[in-house]
Amino acid sequence: MFFRGRRAAPAQPTSASADARRQLVWDKRALIPGPMYLKQAYPENIAIQRRILQQIVNKARSVEQYKEKAHLRHNRIVINDRGYTVENLAELPNDLKAVVGCYENGNIVCFYGSQCPLSNFYQAKFTVGGNVFSYVEQAYFYHKAVHYCDKSKSVQILAESRPHIHNKLG
């Protein structure tokens, strides 16, 4: 087949066609023996947000007043008909706020990431010895550099505002 002039660019899939493909897979699931699991592919930034929000939904579903009223929708959660995103987690009900980046397992409190106040990556300005720090991670690696008399590293660590870079510099 020959074309004159420029060839038309292939049509980009629309959300309607993507939804139609998802529906087709869902409709065909009965033909596949055994359990079938569908995994939605999200961009990395949305996937990170979903991991944070999923913990909150799980906790909410274990609390009687939220049990049937907590849902995860793409990069936001709905609890008691109120929507929350990663940006407004401070507005969560008080009994769900502690879930962000932390969870309890018996007498053990587990935490990770910058969302939990127990993490070295949690942003909190404080002053030690006349120096203002934004993260415990920054203070830790600054004092480590000072202890080993590495002035250039200590200056770089004070100037840097990202905790993962403090870790690399230290």
pLDDT in tens, 68-87: 899 998 889 999 999 998 87
For Cα atoms 54, 67, 80, give the angle at the middle one, nearest 5 degrees: 80
Global pTM reads 0.46
pLDDT value of residue 51: 82
Q: How far apart are CA 117 and CA 101, in angstroms?
A: 8
Task: Say what the pLDDT of residue 1 is.
Answer: 43
pLDDT score, position 2? 45
Contact predicate 73/49, CB 8 Å: no
Helix 136-147 × helix 151-159 angle, to 10°: 170
26's tokens = 């869902």
Q: Which residues contact 22 (CB under 8 A, 6 or more apart)?
A: 38
Residue type for position 144 = K
111 has which bridge partners? 102
Report domain extents, the chain: 44-110, 126-169
Q: How far is residue 110's CA from residue 102's CA, in Å, rounded to a whole number?
A: 6
**Residue 138 in contact with residue 166, Cβ under 8 Å?**
yes
Stretches where the chain sits below pLDDT 70 are: 1-16, 35-40, 98-105, 110, 112-113, 115
**3-state per-residue secondary structure call for 73-91:** ECCEEEECCEEECHHHHHH
Token output for 11: 């049509």
